[in-house]
Amino acid sequence: MDQVEVAAKENENKAIWKPKNPWGAPQKETVPCSLTEVMSEQLAKHLQLEDELSAFPSTAVNNEPLITGDNIDTSSDLLLAQMLQMEFDREFDSQLRLEEKKYNGDSKVSISFENYRMAHPYDDSDSSDDEVDWQDTRHDPYGPDKPKTTPKKGFTGKGKNITTKHDEEICGRRNTARMENFASEFLVGDGIGMDLKLSNQVFNSLKQHSYSEQRRSAKIHEKKEHSTAEQAVDSKTRLLMYKMVNSGILEAVNGCISTGKESVVFHAKGGSIDDKIVPEECALKVFKTTLNEFKTRDKYIKDDYRFKDRFSKLNPRKIIRMWAEKEMHNLSRMQSAGIPCPEVIILKKHILVMSFIGENQVPAPKLKEIKMNSEDMKGAYYQVLNMMKQLYNECNLVHADLSEYNMLWHDGKVWFIDVSQSVEPTHPHGLEFLFRDCRNVSTFFQKAGVAEAMNAFDLFNAVSGLDVQASNEAEFVAAIEALEKINEDHVQKRGKKASFDQSDDGGPPIINDE
Ligand code: ATP
Ligand code: MN
């Protein structure tokens, strides 16, 4: 942040460097214009930025970093303002804590300065109940676990900080502090940070004005939120990315590698966590916070009674985060089994940071895209066969979206990616998903001219160790469904609880769509 401030100062210095005025006053050349004009111009810029973001080609990487430690994308004034405000609030709060400490000393009765604390709307979201990082939920993976607030020392309870509306000074300060509760678009200036005392009358009329402004901008705001949510890089996500850069986990977030149906993937330059080295190149998978994907993912979660009781009350944002968690857990299982796949670095809410498969900001090609000689193609096939067996037998997982689009070719090896939807074989449709994976793999390698490639039926049996026999696909699928039914009855008999415990984290979360 210091660097930002220094950079801002430098710019300022450049901007105001003009022939000296003997009176010392800076020359004013700006034509006066209304605040609304400025605001809408800023909004237009902001929207344009979002549009540009959406226009990134899906495989090309934009070399200009979006967010870096020393070069923040200043074209987004709103974001910059939020960042500065956050940093300012933090500094203000720590100063306040010091003053509170100094003021109270060792006294048994202490005065809390709590009411003057800056609760920045964005930063504050960290502790709200639906914004819990997985680290917080490690023991109870999907249960809310609100961070406990440390008890205030000194005199607490009713009657603390008694304020009457006649106590002008305290009341005035409090009014100033309360301005931060106004809509975020409502510019309250620097008053909050200064010892400014607002009279009740002024405060009330400001409040009234804030409300009407809020209503007025609601429509425009709606549109803006919609367009950014489509990209999964709404202001909260961007701020989250910025925080990762600010805390040093990442050095910079670069361009977008891919915008899929369910996620947006960015390239990032790694930093370090607690002295642990983060890979030089990282991929940031941002799970989309729109609801569209539920439709396409429905098939993975429908009928999975195992999680129903537990997850039915979750809100959409928590569910999105659970998909991100799911991908993290599944990647970790694969990693332990030695299957080539991205290494998980960290999960922050709905952003999964993993190692980048590729080089110099260029992602490794998908099997779909690459032209391979027949020798390599044959090698790739045997690798995939082994990886599928390992995934099933050692990780107890079925990929459930395996195809030439989700296998990358890098370093002379095949890498599996995109495992947020992967399930355990005992999932009510687990074997059907496995068969579909087998059909995709088999078709791809047979078309690519690998004579050794098994057909889908043989591949299914080879991977699962089952012995399903049928003369055509319809019969084969029917046999698979019968197996699933037997398994389901079996699981149900043992009781929901037991099956949940056994299923651990491999099964998908359930969305109760009633
Ligand atoms: P889609 O809907 O296109 O399948 P998705 O939302 O399922 O996308 P992924 O398949 O995980 O997301 O990632 C999309 C693309 O981003 C991949 O096809 C790949 O090109 C790239 N990608 C994802 N993760 C990585 C990684 N760790 N390293 C390099 N590239 C990656
Ligand atoms: Mn994919």
Query: Are 506 and 427 within one domain?
Result: yes
In a domain, residue 121? The reply is: no
Separation of CA 296 and ligand 1 centre (Å): 17
Report the distance separating Cα 6 and Cα 106, nearest Å: 39
Q: Which of 434, 500, 503 is nearest to 464 (CA)?
A: 434
Q: What's residue 388's pLDDT?
A: 98
Query: Are 465 and 317 within one domain?
Result: yes
Type of residue at 158 = K
Query: Are 310 and 413 within one domain?
Result: yes
Query: Are 442 and 493 within one domain?
Result: yes
Q: For residues 480 and 16, which has the higher predicted lDDT (pLDDT)? A: 480
Q: Whose C-alpha lies nearest to ligand 1, atom 23?
A: 265
Please list, residue by residue across 52-66, b when 16 or more beta carbons sit within 10 angstroms of its beta carbon and e when fewer do. ebeebeeeebbeebb
Q: Whose C-alpha lies nearest to ligand 1, atom 27?
A: 356
Place of tokens 């964005």: 122
Q: Which of 311, 481, 505, 321 is nearest to 396 (CA)?
A: 505
- Indicate the top mutation candidate among 254, 263, 293 to test ligand 1's pocket, ranked by most ligand atoms within 8 A of CB: 263
* 134 — pLDDT class (breaks 50, 70, 90): very low
Q: Domain boundary at 71, 100, 116, which?
A: 116
Query: Are 190 and 257 within one domain?
Result: no
In a domain, residue 122? The reply is: no
Query: Are 72 and 158 within one domain?
Result: no
Type of residue at 92 = F
Of the given ranges (49-58, 310-319, 372-381, 399-408), which has the lowest mean pLDDT? 49-58
The 8-class DSSP code of residue 389 comes to H
Cα atoms in the Cβ-side hemisphere of radius 13 Å centred on 333? 25
DSSP states along 186-248? S--TTGGGTT----HHHHHHHHHHHHHHHHHHHHHHHHHHHHHHHTT--HHHHHHHHHHHHTT
The mean pLDDT of 317-329, rounded to a whole number, is 91
- What total of structural domains would you count in the chain? 3
Q: Whose C-alpha lies nearest to ligand 1, atom 29?
A: 357
pLDDT digits (tens, 9 = 90+) for 489-499: 888 887 654 44
Residue 456 has pLDDT above 90, yes or no: yes
Q: Which of 291, 172, 275, 323 is nearest to 226 (CA)?
A: 291
Ligand 1 atom nearest residue 264's Cα: 6
Ligand 1 site, residue 293, Cβ cutoff 6 A: no
Report the distance separating Cα 451 and Cα 473, nearest Å: 21
**In CATH, what number is assigned to the domain containing residue 361?**
1.10.510.10
- Indicate the top mutation candidate among 265, 347, 401 to test ligand 1's pocket, ranked by most ligand atoms within 8 A of CB: 265
- Structural domain harbouring 21: 3-116
Query: Are 191 and 59 within one domain?
Result: no
In a domain, residue 228? The reply is: no
Ligand 1 site, residue 363, Cβ cutoff 6 A: yes
Q: What's residue 232's pLDDT?
A: 45
Ligand 1 site, residue 417, Cβ cutoff 6 A: yes
Ligand 1 atom nearest residue 327's Cα: 11
Query: Are 311 and 212 within one domain?
Result: no
In a domain, residue 229? The reply is: no
Q: What's residue 136's pLDDT?
A: 34
38, 79, 11, 44 alpha-carbon torsion, rounded to 10°: -30
Q: Whose C-alpha lies nearest to ligand 1, atom 3?
A: 260
Q: What's residue 491's pLDDT?
A: 81
Separation of CA 406 and ligand 2 centre (Å): 5
* 234 — pLDDT class (breaks 50, 70, 90): confident
Of the given ranges (185-199, 342-356, 401-415, 474-488), which has the lowest mean pLDDT? 185-199
Active site residues: 401
Q: Domain boundary at 198, 221, 244, which?
A: 221
Residue 163 has pLDDT above 70, yes or no: no
Ligand 1 site, residue 283, Cβ cutoff 6 A: yes
pLDDT digits (tens, 9 = 90+) for 24-63: 555 544 445 555 555 565 665 665 555 544 443 333 344 5
In a domain, residue 331? The reply is: yes
Residue 426 has pLDDT above 60, yes or no: yes
* 366 — pLDDT class (breaks 50, 70, 90): very high
The mean pLDDT of 461-468, rounded to a whole number, is 98
Query: Are 247 and 352 within one domain?
Result: yes
Ligand 1 site, residue 232, Cβ cutoff 6 A: no
Query: Are 306 and 359 within one domain?
Result: yes
Separation of CA 125 and ligand 2 centre (Å): 30
Q: Domain boundary at 197, 221, 245, which?
A: 221
pLDDT digits (tens, 9 = 90+) for 16-29: 444 454 455 555 44
How far lies 277's CA from each of 135, 283, 344, in Å? 19, 15, 13
Q: What's residue 274's pLDDT?
A: 86
Q: What's residue 195's pLDDT?
A: 62
Of the given ranges (135-149, 205-219, 220-234, 324-338), which has the lowest mean pLDDT? 135-149
In a domain, residue 441? The reply is: yes
Ligand 1 site, residue 260, Cβ cutoff 6 A: yes
Longest dimension (CA), the chain: 97
Query: Are 214 and 253 within one domain?
Result: no
Place of tokens 């000296």: 20
Query: Are 282 and 371 within one domain?
Result: yes
In a domain, residue 256? The reply is: yes
Q: Whose C-alpha lies nearest to ligand 1, atom 30?
A: 363
pLDDT digits (tens, 9 = 90+) for 383-402: 999 999 999 999 999 999 99
* 194 — pLDDT class (breaks 50, 70, 90): low
In a domain, residue 226? The reply is: no
The CA-CA-CA angle for residues 295, 296, 300, to 5°, reads 105
Residue 14 has pLDDT above 90, yes or no: no
Ligand 1 site, residue 258, Cβ cutoff 6 A: yes
